Structure 1
Amino acid sequence: MSADLKPLEKQVVVVTGASSGIGLTTARMAADRGARVVVAARSEEALRELTDEIRHSGGEATYVVADVRDRDDVREIAATARDAYGGFDTWVNVAGAFLYGKLEETPVEDMRDQFDTNVWGLLYGSLEATNLLKDRGGAIINVGSVASDRAIPLQGSYSASKHAVEGFTDALRMELEQDGAPVSVTLVKPASIDTPYPDHAKNHMDEAATLPPPVYAPETVARAILDAAENPQRDVYVGGGAKGMAALGHYAAGVLDTVMEKLFVPMQKDDEAPRRDAPNNLDESTGDLEERGGIDRHVSETSAYTEASQRRSLTGLALAGLGAVGLALYARSRSKRRGEKSGERETEGRRSVESVAQTRRKRG
């Protein structure tokens, strides 16, 4: 049985991890488009401010202070939606915990805590949503990552958690399809997104953390999520770079390994030293209604690839090719820029040497 999803303005949408980044952007956008929203996160102050903001703009919203690592908290989210609106139509699992560092230098306890949020929290949410939606119909939307398909060095634990998310999501989809349940199950796989992700991450590197390009705006993910809330979809890559990386990893894994090792390792390190005393969302709530991270590089506000894929106006092969071409062009431009910078440094060096030589000749 296929899912017959309602228009967004007739839906109740649950969003976890709604106090910052993708979750916050999705909740605001859903409310702007007429949905009633139930927002959940650990920060009550941020959630109260968000719901007041939505109500003052004419929308309907309620909040639940919840840590998705606690199954009883997740059950409370569903109970609140039932009490306030009679249930929900779409459940979006966004809440995530972030880690940077080589695997051998990252405490196993931190990895376990990350899995509690990224895997068990999402699993609890999905099962709670299934319990209601398998009878009334609706959508379960899980936010994975390009790291669901392709592991990223220095984010190995995060990658492992997102691989688990993909496996769970695919299995849940098949079981619901086999039961004939009118539920759409979608996995959203963003590329790097300009959210406070690096600032909120627990960092075990010797340098401050940053995001590898290409980087997209959080609105690109929110639009993809809300499209999937109205139109059943299996999975959605947000950003052509995400699809290109997944395709290259599938067809030329060794090549992508080399690209990762040579480019993605240094591109995740900033020049500054990390702030060891800064709060991180592994150990505490860090959501403060910040959608973006203020990255100082180009941020793509849209993704032609994602829009085309969700309109289903291109074949799967063409979409994979488009993503791969985008990644190749990016890698080429990155290499060219590095070459130009190297050339500039060499030219400046030659000029310095020539200047010193001229000075010495004049003195002689």
Structure 2
Amino acid sequence: MAISLKPIQEQVIVITGASSGIGLATARAAAKKGAKLVLASRNEEALEEIVEQINMEGGRAIHVVADVGKSEDIQRIADAALKDFGGFDTWVNNAGVSIYGRLEDVSEEDSRRLFDTNFWGVVSGSLIAAKQLKMKGGAIINVGSVLSDVAIPIQGMYSATKHAVKAFTDALRIELEEENAPVSVTLIKPSAINTPYPQHAKNYTKQELTLPPPVYAPEEVAYAILHAAASPKRDIIVGSGGKMMSSTNKYAPKLMDLAGETMLIDQQLREEKARHFEGSLHKPGRDGEVHGNYEGHVMKTSFYTRAALNPVITGAVVAAASAAAVALLGNNKLKQMAKNAAEQVK
């Protein structure tokens, strides 16, 4: 069965993790385009303020306080959409959190909680959404990560959750296609994004947390999500930095390992001593902000992603964006790592 998605302005869109970061950026962008919104997170106070602002500006939104680690809470989100809007057209599984710490240091309790949110939240949301969308058509959009393709040190458990999200999303897509269900299933794989992500993460290290460059604005992820809501896409990498990591890991995995050993730990940690440890893994944190406090350059758009979604953009622009990402990571270090990798292959 052919998949036909409505224009954004005609849609009801469900977004989990909508009280900050990518979820909030997506909610605001969708509201500006005329979509009706069902916004969910654990933070009731932040949700109320966000919904009030959207409605005051002429949009239409409701909120549901929900913990995506509990399937009964996700069912309440779907029920609210059905009650207020007669259902939904796109379901965005965005809620997620991270843990920074060496695998041997992270507790089993924290690891299980991380999987409850990042993986089981996506599973429950996708299956509940698919049950309704198989009857009328629509889109399921799961926010994974470039770490769905690449594992990095001190975010090893987070990487594991996002690998699991990718596997589940791919399998769900295949099964729905086999049924000829009119449902588009998209995996969004953001690079490092300037949201409050480091502040929300559980911190096992002794230093303040940050993001490895290049870093992109959350509005660029929102752009990709809304593109997928209106035009079926299998997967979308947001940021040429993420594309470079994914491709390097696929075609030169030892080189990617060397990057992890020599660069990626330091690039995730600030010099100052840690002041925040618990984050929002087990309870809601400070919400209501789209952007984080990344101290370096933030790329507002990704030419690579725009080109992937709009093929008329020339390959030269894509090459330029990739070159910029390499420059931000540090040419000399990459050259040295490539040399080391070549020597190890001999």
TM-score relative to the length of structure 2:
0.93
CA contact (8 A) 2:302 2:321 kept: no
Q: How does 1:1-364 map to 2 (within 5 A)?
A: 1-276=1-276, 279-313=278-312, 325-333=323-331, 335=333
Match of 1:190, as an amino acid? P
Distance 1:9 1:107, change over 3 A: same
Counterparts of 1:293 and 1:35, CA distance in 2: 26
- Give the unaligned 5+ runs of structure 1: 337-364
Is the partner of 1:208 in helix, strand or coil?
strand
Q: CA deviation at 1:274?
A: 1.2
Q: CA deviation at 1:322?
A: 7.0
Q: CA deviation at 1:36?
A: 0.2
Counterparts of 1:3 and 1:174, CA distance in 2: 14
CA contact (8 A) 1:100 1:203 kept: yes
Deviation string 1:304-324 (CA, Å, 9 cap, x unpaired) is 000010113479x99997776
Match of 2:245, as an amino acid? M
Counterparts of 1:323 and 1:261, CA distance in 2: 25
Counterparts of 1:139 and 1:115, CA distance in 2: 23
Deviation string 1:81-107 (CA, Å, 9 cap, x unpaired) is 000000000000010021000001111
Q: CA deviation at 1:260?
A: 1.6
Structure-1 residue corresponding to 2:340: none
Distance 1:207 1:334, change over 3 A: farther
Deviation string 1:199-251 (CA, Å, 9 cap, x unpaired) is 11100011111101100000000000000000000000000011111001100
Counterparts of 1:234 and 1:31, CA distance in 2: 24
- Give the unaligned 5+ runs of structure 2: 335-346
Is the partner of 2:37 in helix, strand or coil?
strand
Counterparts of 2:198 and 2:327, CA distance in 1: 25
Counterparts of 1:152 and 1:32, CA distance in 2: 36
Match of 1:83, as an amino acid? K
Distance 1:212 1:248, change over 3 A: same
CA contact (8 A) 1:147 1:162 kept: yes
Match of 2:267, as an amino acid? M
CA contact (8 A) 1:8 1:35 kept: yes
Counterparts of 1:71 and 1:233, CA distance in 2: 27
Q: CA deviation at 1:331?
A: 3.2
CA contact (8 A) 1:93 1:143 kept: yes
Counterparts of 2:318 and 2:249, CA distance in 1: 12
Structure 1, 258-267 or 75-84: larger mean CA deviation: 258-267
Counterparts of 2:30 and 2:3, CA distance in 1: 20
Q: Alignment identity in percent?
A: 51
RMSD (Å) for aligned C-alpha atoms: 1.9
CA contact (8 A) 1:191 1:238 kept: yes
Is the partner of 1:61 in helix, strand or coil?
strand
Counterparts of 1:8 and 1:270, CA distance in 2: 40
Is the partner of 1:105 in helix, strand or coil?
coil
Q: CA deviation at 1:328?
A: 3.3
Q: CA deviation at 1:334?
A: 6.8
Counterparts of 2:318 and 2:150, CA distance in 1: 15
Distance 1:85 1:287, change over 3 A: farther
Q: Which has the larger radius of gyration?
A: 1
CA contact (8 A) 1:215 1:298 kept: yes
Deviation string 1:148-178 (CA, Å, 9 cap, x unpaired) is 0000111000000000000000000000000
Q: CA deviation at 1:295?
A: 1.2
Structure-1 residue corresponding to 2:338: none
CA contact (8 A) 2:93 2:122 kept: yes
Distance 1:42 1:160, change over 3 A: same
Is the partner of 1:40 in helix, strand or coil?
strand
Is the partner of 1:227 in helix, strand or coil?
helix
Q: Which runs of 4+ in 1 moved over 6 A?
A: 317-323
Counterparts of 1:191 and 1:28, CA distance in 2: 21
Structure-2 residue corresponding to 1:360: none
Q: CA deviation at 1:26?
A: 0.5
Deviation string 1:275-324 (CA, Å, 9 cap, x unpaired) is 25x55111110142110112111000000000010113479x99997776
